[in-house]
Amino acid sequence: MDIRFCPGLIESLKQLAKENQGERKRGFTRKVLEMLKLPKRDHCYYKGRITSAQLIEVAKLLPDLNLNDRQNFGPTVRDFVEVAKREPRAQFEVYVITEPRDDERFTVEGVWIPSDRQDLIEFILRQGGYPEEVIKSKNYIGIWWD
């Protein structure tokens, strides 16, 4: 697309970026990492599996903008928090990108839901696009949007 033929597009994008600047809090991931103690994978990248209780506590530290974050076409962080509140046995595959990167965030990319909670499995599948992977173990269904 040639943006020269889209009057106002550049100004609209600039305005949107300016509005989002006010919502984006920097440095919030430090408190998240202090709480979770995830293993470091790279300079600014941490990854691990957390419990429902941990996700509920992390959500209290996240800016609203991050609660609406999603991994590709997966459910939002807010959707995963809803699962955590309704099922204490659920577990979540997460990663954290820290500052100084501009895309600082906390992301949930997968969930393990107990097999006997079909209601929550259906709920989380309705919230996102088709998952990358679904794994059935003895007691859990694992779902990823990678």
What's residue 118's pLDDT?
97
Is the predicted pLDDT of residue 19 greater than 80, yes or no? no
pTM for this one? 0.80
14 domain residue, yes or no: no
Taking residue 61's Cβ as centre, other Cβ atoms within 10 Å add up to: 16
5 domain residue, yes or no: no
Confidence of residue 88 (pLDDT cuts 50, 70, 90): very high
123 domain residue, yes or no: yes
Range of the structural domain that residue 43 is part of? 26-144
State the Cα–Cα distance between residues 118 and 108, nearest whole angstrom: 20
Confidence of residue 101 (pLDDT cuts 50, 70, 90): confident
Give the containing element (helix H, strand E) for 93.
Answer: strand 91-97
Q: Tell me the Cα Rg of the chain.
A: 17
Domains identified in the chain, total number: 1
Residue that wins the pLDDT comparison between 62 and 23: 62
18 domain residue, yes or no: no
132 domain residue, yes or no: yes
104 domain residue, yes or no: yes
Q: What is the largest CA-CA distance in the chain?
A: 57
